[in-house]
Amino acid sequence: MNDIMKGRLMIPGVYTRSTMGPRMEPYPILDLRTVVSPYAPQRGCSFFDRIGGCDEHLYWETSRGCVFRCAYCAYTHRRPVFRTVPIERLQSEVEYFNRRDIKSIFVTDPVLGGPKSNTRRVLGLISQIESKPRVSVLLRPEYLDQEMVILLQRANVGWLDLGLQTTNPQLQYVHRKNDIPFLLSSCDLLRDAGMGFNLDLIIGFPGDNKESMLESIRFVIEEAKPNTIKIFPLRVYPGTPIHDMFLSRGSSWLSFDNHTRLVKSTATCCQEEMDEFTKFCNTVVTFYRFLSEESWLHKEQEFRRLPFFVRVFEKVSALEYSDADIWHIMNCPQNAYDRDKTQGVWTRMFDELEITN
Ligand SMILES: C[S@@+](CC[C@H](N)C(=O)[O-])C[C@H]1O[C@@H](n2cnc3c(N)ncnc32)[C@H](O)[C@@H]1O
Ligand code: SF4
């Protein structure tokens, strides 16, 4: 293990902190039959049993790669082959789940099942799990018609992560053309079905400016009304169309940090604006979650408005940035959200700042 961690022993497709970056090559495992199933028994015992895995919460993979081609996404362009786990293996994994009392499952596919026809098939398999675990999935909002929402309900899906990315119609090169009326009706269907959902946005696309990014955020807060929001600054990965565009257009079009790959500035948003806007977005994300989990403090109509969030950010910005709590809510890494800490900070801030509409 030490040799792997230090990069002295390389296993194709496995990267550690020391081997990420220059030595990293895409290494798609094309035939998923060659990947050992953690759950399907081999010689009477599954890998999961051998390592003494906990039954309560499982991660499950039914496909790899993606059938879409979003211009920023490393998932699809670095490994441009979509492939599914063979159905017989998924079936035997479901049989394994049925011998356990599984409480929850997170399906790791970037779009559950890949193409819509396969999403339906995978949901059918999930419905066969007898312990009726609570299931979380990632899905394209375009898939969410009435029939799909019924299948999700039957499969006991309780949480969906949905990518919206932007509402800016000018950003055609991103390949995320969103059908806004359809999205709004899908959000209604999910709410009616009692399913929680998160909407993702990306900030810092070249062509986006402060006004258009604010409009995407306004739309999510005021119209789509998800349970939570995530707002990611663009990361520029080699092999993606956005990176190719950067190579031909240069750093006046897009500049980014070579180590973190995070956008620094674009032709339409300077670095200072980008830094400030990122802090604003982090504040919105954590504050929105605080309000959502506190039932909007029974003032949803008053609080669910972009200008309210802008005013809260102004108040927070006037405080000492070096204060650990202020730093936390403006920089909280969205994938490592610490619920107790962030809720605690906002509870205190809410009172101290005398936040009212
Ligand atoms: C693993 S992706 C899957 C989402 C889902 N496939 C979709 O697009 O609707 C989760 C989220 O990561 C974010 N993301 C993906 N690539 C990104 C990039 N290059 N820079 C910033 N955020 C990114 C997007 O907001 C995306 O919705
Ligand atoms: S962002 Fe999502 S839908 Fe788009 S290519 Fe990546 S994984 Fe697929």
Give the CATH number for residue 36.
Answer: 3.20.20.70
Q: Which atom of ligand 1 is nearest to the CA of 240?
A: 19
Rounded mean pLDDT of 240-263?
96
pLDDT confidence bin for 258, thresholds 50/70/90: very high
pLDDT band at 350 (very low <50, low <70, confident <90, very high): confident
**Is residue 335 in a domain?**
no
Bridge partners, residue 161, by sequence: 138, 198
**For a substitution probing ligand 1, which of 76, 186, 232, 254 has the most ligand atoms within 8 Å of its CB?**
232
Q: Amino acid letter at 234?
A: L
CA distance linking residue 265 with residue 205, whole number of Å: 9
With respect to residue 95, please indicate whether it lies within any of the assigned structural domains.
yes
Is 233 inside any structural domain? yes
Closest ligand to the CA of 204: 1
> Do the domain assignments include residue 133?
yes
Q: Which atom of ligand 1 is nearest to the CA of 242?
A: 19
Amino acid of residue 302:
E
Instruction: Determine if ligand 2 sits within 6 Å of the CB of residue 174.
Output: no
- Whether residue 350 has its Cβ less than 6 Å from ligand 2: no
**Contact at 8 Å (CB) between 231 and 203?**
yes
* Nearest-angstrom CA–CA distance, 350 and 23: 47
Q: What is the structure's pLDDT at 298?
A: 92
Contact 101, 55 (CB under 8 A): yes
Q: What is the pLDDT of residue 11?
A: 72
E-strand ranges in 44-110 read 57-60, 63-64, 83-84, 104-107
**Spatial separation of the C-alpha atoms in residues 147 and 15, rounded to whole Å:** 40
- The total domain count for the chain is 1
**Above 70 in pLDDT, residue 73?**
yes
pLDDT value at residue 21 = 64
Q: What is the largest CA-CA distance in the chain?
A: 63
Mean pLDDT of the 253-271 span? 96
pTM of the complete model beyond 0.75: yes
d(CA 65, CA 83): 7
* CB atoms inside a 10 Å sphere around CB 103: 14
Which residue did the predictor score with more confidence, 73 or 177? 73
Using a 6 Å cutoff on CB, does residue 73 contact ligand 2? yes
* Mutational test site, ligand 2, from 75, 140, 234, max ligand atoms within 8 Å of CB: 75
Residue type, 51: I
Rounded Cα distance between 160 and 162, Å, is: 6
Q: What percentage of the chain has pLDDT greater than the value 70?
A: 91
pLDDT tens track for 310-338: 999 998 888 776 677 777 778 766 666 67
- Between helix 306-317 and helix 324-331 the angle, nearest 10°, is 140
SS3 for 286?
helix
Instruction: Show the tokens assigned to 58.
Output: 């499982």
140 CB within 6 A, ligand 1: yes
Tens digits of residue pLDDT in 5-61: 887 877 766 777 777 665 556 566 778 888 888 887 777 778 787 777 666 889 999
Q: Which of 63, 68, 232 is the best mutation target for the ligand 2 pocket, counting ligand atoms within 8 Å of the beta carbon and taking the most?
A: 68
* CA 73 to centroid of ligand 1, rounded, Å: 7
- Which residues span the domain enclosing 209? 19-41+48-269
Instruction: Give long-range contacts, CB 8 A cutoff, 24+ apart: 336-340.
Output: 337/286, 337/289, 339/293
C-beta 66 within 6 A of ligand 2: yes
Question: Residue 349 Cα, ligand 1 centroid: separation in angstroms?
Answer: 31
CA of 240 to the centre of ligand 1 (A): 13
How far is residue 79 CA from its own chain's centroid? 19
User: Is residue 203 included in any domain, yes or no?
Assistant: yes
* Beta-carbon contacts of residue 124 (< 8 Å; ≥ 6 apart): 151, 155
Does a structural domain hold residue 210? yes
Confidence check: pLDDT of 245 > 70: yes
Indicate the range of 159-163, 176-180, 232-236 predicted with least confidence: 176-180
| 337 falls within a domain | no
Determine, yes or no, domain membership for 314: no
Report the first-to-last Cα separation within the chain, whole angstroms.
55
pLDDT at 7: 78
- Model pLDDT for residues 222-235, shown as the tens digit of each residue: 999 999 999 999 99
Most confident segment among 26-35, 63-72, 141-150: 141-150
